[in-house]
Amino acid sequence: MVFLYHTVWMSRRVNGCNNCTDRYGNRIQQGMTGNKSSGRLGRPRSFDIDRALDRALQVFWRKGYEGASLSDLTKAVGVNRPSLYAAFGDKKALFRKALDRYLTGPASYTQEALKEPTARAVVERLLQGAADLNTAPRNPGGCLMVQGALASGDAGDSIRQELVACRAAGEAALRRRFQRAKSEGDLPATMNPADLARYVATIAYGMAVQAAGGASRDKLQHVVRMTLRTLPL
């Protein structure tokens, strides 16, 4: 499951990286301009950027950053390697664009969850959304943000570190939401927002791992219900 990363990721890239959305738009524009005279290295006229990103996303989601080979990606996208580079840049750039696609598409429920009026409703919508996302038949099992690069070699370490930082930023966003809830009297005065955010994040990450191992939607919904029963919300 993705966990509250969309606001942080889309407003600023961690570790000094630029905004993914801006980079995505700029490179598409550059590619469209440059390919008018690029000959055989340009993209086919029928090339669909959105569809290509959706297909690349599925590969990364299923195999992780390092597990997804360039052969896997070119086959899924339907272009050769030079055309893939012309459209998206290198593999890291493609992963980041696919991740943006993930955050604004399948995982966009996280933003809606933050708008819920109570802390309990926030948690319920997040965890229910995670159960649905992680087990939907049309999706690879689990969460791209959790499984994209849990471990990596030197070549993928920068991606791993970015995902680690984004998970931390997502937890911080949830902590701030709980701090607001506490100030509004929606959480007990004795509740520590940071501890609660860490607890909910841990449940969410665990659900993603369970789903990747084959847990059904029904089993994850049991986890959601048990979590809600145990929280003082």
**Digit-coded pLDDT (tens) for 220-231:** 999 999 999 998
Rounded Cα–Cα distance for residues 96 and 24 (Å) = 9
Does the pTM surpass 0.85? The reply is no
Low-confidence spans in the chain with pLDDT less than 70: 1-46
DSSP class of residue 46?
T
pLDDT of res. 32: 34
pLDDT of res. 2: 53
pLDDT of res. 95: 94
Cα pseudo-dihedral 197, 14, 96, 11, rounded to 10: 80
Closest residue by Cα to residue 148 from 61, 215, 43, 36: 61
Q: Which structure tokens are listed for 106?
A: 């399948």
pLDDT of res. 20: 38
pLDDT of res. 110: 84
